[in-house]
Amino acid sequence: MYTYIIKRLMGAVPVILGVIALVFILTTIVPGDPARLMMGQRGDPETIELIRKEFGLDKPLWYQFIDFFRRALTLDLGKSYRNNMLVTQAIIERIPVTAKLAAFSMGIAVILGVTFGIISAVKQYSWLDYGSMLVAMLGISAPGFWVGLLLIVLFCVKLGWIPGTGTGEGELIYYVLPSITLGVRPAALIARLTRSSMLEIIRQDYVRTARAKGLSERVVVLKHALRNAMIPVITIVGIQTAYFLSGAIITEQLFSLPGIGRLSVEALINRDFPIIRGVILFMALLFVMINLLVDLSYPLFDPRIKYE
Amino acid sequence: METRPDLQKETTVTKTKNKKREGRSLWMDGWIRLKKNKLAMFGLYLVIIIVLAALFAPFITKYDPYTQLIWTEGRAAQLSPPSAKHWFGTDVYGRDIFTRVIYGARISLQIGIASVLISVLIGVPLGAIAGYYGGLVDDVISWLINVIFAFPFLLFVLAIVAYLPPSLIIMYVAIGVVNWASIARVVRGQVLSVKEKEYVEAANALGSSDFRVIFKHILPNVLAPVIVQATLRVGNVIMLEAALSFLGFGVQPPEPSWGYMINQGRQFLLAGKWWWSVFPGIAIMMLVLGFNLLGDGLRDALDPRLKQ
């Protein structure tokens, strides 16, 4: 088990190194001198020169690359071009909002997805099955930001149940609509996947045995079948991490939530390259870690899977 | 001379055996299976209708997507609700929204198809080479694939398109360059299993060049999953383009991009003038739904093993 974790972590190292290199290339080939852009119209040549020195922009590219690499490995990502804030601090400040959003929307996705997936499988070919699968298909095909907009109109403007966008005083009610917006697509994917893997498992011998020995249908479905049907669902949770990170960018923008996603859009608009690099690295690291956790969680659901 | 009944019997048997069954290719089989799948055919029709509408846009609507009708029809043409004259209403500049939605299909389809083609052109050879040669080549390509996967998808594309002059070509390339990894991963996995087959061994034994073996013997046999993956990707890319344009980083006005139209109509949607944002959203949903249903159907049709 531990050797497996260490092996996987070692395997993640070249990926992270690759991401660091790609991030540097991506934010360096951009046309325009960042120092000049920071100062805008009012920059006189001396100040611009000073800034170039301070941010190390006067050094040759290969030096900047190695320097960036070295610092990135120690999580020293420099300061924002915009407000001189440490990049790590700027990111850490924004984590709670995104973490809440991710947790709620993933919760919604798993609860709704698994529930409707089971119902569809157990009542295969019923109107409930067709209905949930139709909604799921539409949920996968509808653009999240558009669904979010319609939700705002319905619940904020028409019904007035939700005070509006933003975070207010930090009340959780402000997270309801963003979490639904972000959770719709994974919920739909999970529902479809739960249905198909349940249908496969429900026909297996051990499920028939469970029925034959007189267990109630509820126990058979929820205890014997569901646990095994969860394996592909967990995989999709891992794959959807990437979607969540991208989705958070749009959702936070739409609902004015000050999270990591909004930070990245602000940084893109302001050409704040240290922040962009920091956010991308943070997201990549998160992606790698979550996928490792997903892999490690398989034995919890299927004891036949063991990591030696 | 006595007749031998058993001999007679034999001749009738050979007669029925000689009635040869019409040979059918894998693709013909797939098409027959696809035709039986109502949902997939519905998806195909959706796509065909939207493609035809995009191609024949000038014949479907008498308006021009850029002309502001306030100059000819007066203020009444500004933000007018759906009517017999303007089916989807007009926007704040007095442009006919139905016309803009129809012309917008051109942009979405172009980006969806062109960028997926680019990712197929990059992903198929790289995936095939990685799977066929293994070893160091495979390590390097697989590493690249993993790096791209760990990279936050939307931020990657945003970072490319945000700083380059806005153009459709740059969007095709930016999205294609990010998307190839998922195609390459599918191809690599398929090639790994196909290359162990006897006919590949036979081709090798006959002295075929690697190039010939890969392109003539292996690739045609891994095409089906590539087609499925590419079809599903087109839907994803259309959604991605909409999201980019919604954030203001995608197709630039006055081009009729669906995502940007939703963004522009946002303020008016909250004020009860729903048509500007709602119709483009439905259009995105229908087109993506079409590609998703078609992709799902193709998977079932081309790979019967996956069908339950």
Backbone phi, then psi, for B90, in 5-degree steps?
Answer: -130, 160
Structure confidence at residue A91 (pLDDT): 92
pLDDT of residue A29: 76
State the total domains in chain A: 2
**pLDDT of the residue at B307:** 45
Write down the pLDDT at residue A6. 87
Domain span at residue B216 reads 27-306
The closest alpha carbon to B281, from A147, A188, A254, belongs to A147
Residues A101, A63 share a domain: no
Q: Is residue B192 part of a domain?
A: yes
**Mutation test of the interface with chain B: which of A19, A137, A146, A246, choosing the one with the most B Cβ atoms within 10 A?**
A146
- What pLDDT does B160 receive? 84
The per-residue pLDDT for range A12-63, each reduced to its tens digit, is 889 989 998 988 888 887 766 677 666 666 667 787 787 777 777 777 888 8
Task: For residue range B167-187, list pLDDT tens digits in order.
Answer: 888 888 889 988 999 999 999
Chain B residues in contact with A196 (beta carbon < 8 A): 308
Say yes or no: A143 and A224 in one domain: yes
Q: Provide the phi-psi class of A56: left if phi over 0, else alpha when psi is between -120 and 50, else beta.
A: left
Q: CA of A218, closest CA in chain B: separation in Å? A: 24
Cβ-defined contact of A18 to B144 (cutoff 8 Å): yes
If asked whether residues A128 and A261 sit together in one domain, one would say yes
How much is the pLDDT for A32? 67
CATH number for the domain that contains residue A105: 1.10.3720.10
Whether residue A122 sits in one domain with residue A214: yes
Are B97 and B90 spatial neighbours (Cβ–Cβ below 8 Å)?
A: yes
Tell me what the mean pLDDT of segment A96-120 comes to.
91
Of B149, B154, B285, nearest to A138 by CB-CB distance is B285
Question: Is B217 inside any structural domain?
Answer: yes
Chain A segment 6-35 residues within 8 A of B by beta carbon are 14-16, 18-19, 22, 26-27, 30-32
* All residues at 6 or more sequence positions from B27 whose CB lies less than 8 Å from its CB, including other chains: none
A88 in a structural domain = no
Write down the ipTM of this complex: 0.84
Same domain, A171 and A37: no
Averaged pLDDT of chain B? 86
Judge: A280–B243 Cβ closer than 8 Å, yes or no: no
A64 & A98 share domain: no
Asked, for residue B205, whether it belongs to a domain, the answer is yes
- Give A66-75's long-range contacts (Cβ < 8 A, gap of 24+): A68/A20, A68/A24, A68/A277, A69/A17, A69/A20, A69/A21, A69/A24, A72/A20, A72/A277, A72/A281, A73/A20
The total number of structural domains that make up chain B: 1
Looking at residue A42, its pLDDT comes to 66
Please check whether residues A107 and A54 belong to one and the same domain.
Answer: no
User: What percent of chain B is modeled with pLDDT above 90?
Assistant: 38
More confident residue, B304 or B98: B98
Coil, strand or helix: which one is A167? coil
Is residue A248 one of the residues assigned to a domain?
Answer: yes
> Is B3 domain-assigned?
no
Look at residue B308 in the predicted model and tell me its pLDDT.
37
Give Cβ neighbours of residue A56 (< 8 Å, ≥ 6 apart): A63, A64, A67
Residue A166 shares a structural domain with residue A255: yes
Q: Where are the alpha helices (DSSP H) in B91-152?
A: 97-133, 135-150
pLDDT value at residue A65: 85
Output the CA angle A227-A230-A234, nearest 5 degrees: 140
Helices (H), chain A: 2-28, 34-39, 45-54, 61-73, 87-122, 127-141, 144-151, 176-201, 205-212, 217-219, 226-254, 260-270, 273-301
Is A306 a member of any domain? Answer: no
Mean pLDDT along residues B187-194 = 90
Give domain status of residue A202, yes or no. Answer: yes
- Tell me how far apart the alpha carbons of residues A69 and A229 are, in angstroms, rounded to a whole number: 43
Residue B87 CA: distances (Å) to CA of B53, B79, B176, B259: 15, 12, 35, 20
Residue B306 has pLDDT above 60, yes or no: no
Tell me if chain B has a CB within 8 Å of the CB of A239: no
Asked if A280 and B292 come within 8 Å (Cβ–Cβ), the reply is: no
Helix (H, G, I), strand (E, B) or coil at B83: coil
| pTM > 0.90 | no
pLDDT above 90 (res B119): yes
Alpha-carbon span B221 to B213, nearest angstrom: 11
What does the pLDDT read at residue B110? Answer: 93
Q: Does residue B9 have a pLDDT over 70?
A: no
As given in the structure block, the two tokens for residue A261 are 């996603």
DSSP letter, residue A144: H
Give residue-wise pLDDT tens across range A201-224: 888 888 888 888 888 888 888 888
And the tokens for B15?
A: 């007669």
Binned at pLDDT 50, 70 and 90, residue A237 comes out as confident
Tell which of B50, B136, B140, B147 to mutate to test the A interface (max A CBs under 10 Å): B147
| Residues from chain B contacting residue A249 (CB–CB below 8 Å) | 152, 154-155, 158, 247
pLDDT over 80 at B113, yes or no: yes
Q: Is there a domain that residue A63 lies in?
A: yes
Residue % of chain A over a pLDDT of 70: 95
Reply yes or no on whether the pLDDT at A167 is more than 90.
no
Residues whose CB is less than 8 angstroms from the CB of residue A234 and which lie 6 or more positions away in sequence, other chains included: A294, A297, A298, A301
What pLDDT score does B17 carry?
A: 52
Nearest Cα residue to B54 out of B110, B6, B12: B110
Give mean pLDDT, residues B140-163.
88
Q: How far is Cα A184 from Cα A190, in angstroms, rounded to an integer? A: 10
The pLDDT assigned to B270 comes to: 84
Top pLDDT among B132 and A77 is at B132
Interface contact B155-A18, CB threshold 8 A: no
A18 domain residue, yes or no: yes
Let me know whether A98 and A135 are in one domain. yes
- 3-state SS, B253-283, equals CCCCCHHHHHHHHHHHHHCCCCHHHHHHHHH
| Number of neighbours of residue A53 by Cβ within 10 angstroms | 12
Please spell the DSSP secondary structure of B20-81, one letter per residue: PPPP--HHHHHHHHHHH-HHHHHHHHHHHHHHHHHHTHHHH-SS-SS--THHHHGGGGSSPP
CATH number where B288 lies: 1.10.3720.10
CA distance B281 to chain A (A): 6
In this structure, are residues B260 and B166 in contact, taking their beta carbons and an 8 Å threshold? no
Length of chain B: 308
**DSSP for residue B252:** P
- Has residue B284 got a pLDDT over 90? yes
How far apart, in whole angstroms, are the C-alpha atoms of residue B185 and residue B226? 10
Minimal Cα–Cα distance from A241 to chain B, Å?
A: 10
Overall average pLDDT of the B265-291 stretch: 91
Q: What is the domain extent for residue A11?
A: 2-73
Claim to verify: residue A163 and residue A239 sit in the same structural domain: yes
**Looking at residue B1, what is its pLDDT?**
45
Query: Which two structure tokens, joined as six digits, stand for B209?
Result: 């060049």
- Report if residue A86 sits inside a domain: no
Token code pair at residue B73: 């029809």
* Element holding B203 (H helix, E strand): helix B198-205
Is A199 in the same domain as A129?
yes
* Matching residue, tokens 């095709």: B172
Chain A hits for B163, Cβ within 8 Å: 30-32, 271
Does residue B288 lie in a domain region?
yes
